């Protein structure tokens, strides 16, 4: 476990203007995207800090991509201007984000009182549990040799977890 810094610097935040002034989410525009790989990790959690100007968006939605853009992963409020808010979304129940190289998270801002209102974005982190390195697959066939055409061979798969992390079924084997 531990944070993996995706973007951000404690002294400098990304500053964006031109946010949606309506009170509804528009997934065609007005977002900050953080692209990450969760390869080697499961039970991921995404977090970040956000701050808005007086005219900036007062509502955000967090969407994730695991092959499909899922809406919404979480909704947050930036109730007061000029205040930093910390957001964190736990995706332990979203197994499709586990060990996935093409993941990304989008933070959409809307409900701005003026198009020039700003949203500052900082300190994005992705945390997760490291997949165990002690996962072994043993495959045996019975009989061990083919004797005749059309002979049936029964395969047995034994999956052994010698790592320190408990795994839950279902398991998928690609052979």
* pLDDT per position as a tens digit, 29-63: 788 899 999 988 999 999 999 999 999 999 999 99
Contact 43, 132 (CB under 8 A): no
Contact 57, 70 (CB under 8 A): no
Q: What is the pLDDT of residue 72?
A: 64
Q: Is the dihedral of CA 77, 79, 82, 84 positive or negative?
A: negative
Contact 29, 125 (CB under 8 A): no
Q: What is the pLDDT of residue 74?
A: 67
Mean pLDDT to the nearest integer, 70-88: 85
SS3 content of the chain, % helix, strand, coil (to 5): 0, 50, 50
Nearest-angstrom CA–CA distance, 152 and 154: 7
Mean pLDDT to the nearest integer, 73-84: 86
Q: What is the pLDDT of residue 165?
A: 65
Determine if the pTM surpasses 0.75: no
């Amino acid at each position: 476990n531990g944070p993996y810094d995706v973007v951000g610097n404690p002294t400098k935040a990304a500053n964006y203007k031109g946010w949606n002034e309506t009170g509804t989410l528009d997934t065609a525009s007005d977002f900050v995207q953080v692209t990450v790989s969760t390869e080697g990790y499961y039970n991921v959690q995404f977090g970040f800090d956000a701050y808005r100007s007086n005219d900036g968006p007062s509502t955000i939605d967090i969407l994730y991509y695991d092959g499909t853009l899922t809406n919404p992963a979480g909704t947050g409020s930036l109730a007061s201007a000029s205040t930093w808010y910390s957001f964190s979304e736990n995706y332990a129940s979203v197994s499709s984000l586990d060990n996935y190289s093409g993941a990304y998270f989008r933070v959409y801002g809307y409900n701005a009182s003026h198009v020039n209102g700003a949203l500052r974005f900082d300190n994005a982190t992705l945390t997760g549990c490291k997949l165990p390195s002690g996962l072994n697959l043993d495959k045996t066939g019975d009989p061990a040799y083919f004797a005749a055409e059309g002979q049936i061979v029964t395969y047995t798969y034994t999956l052994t977890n010698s790592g320190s992390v408990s795994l839950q079924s279902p398991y998928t084997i690609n052979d």
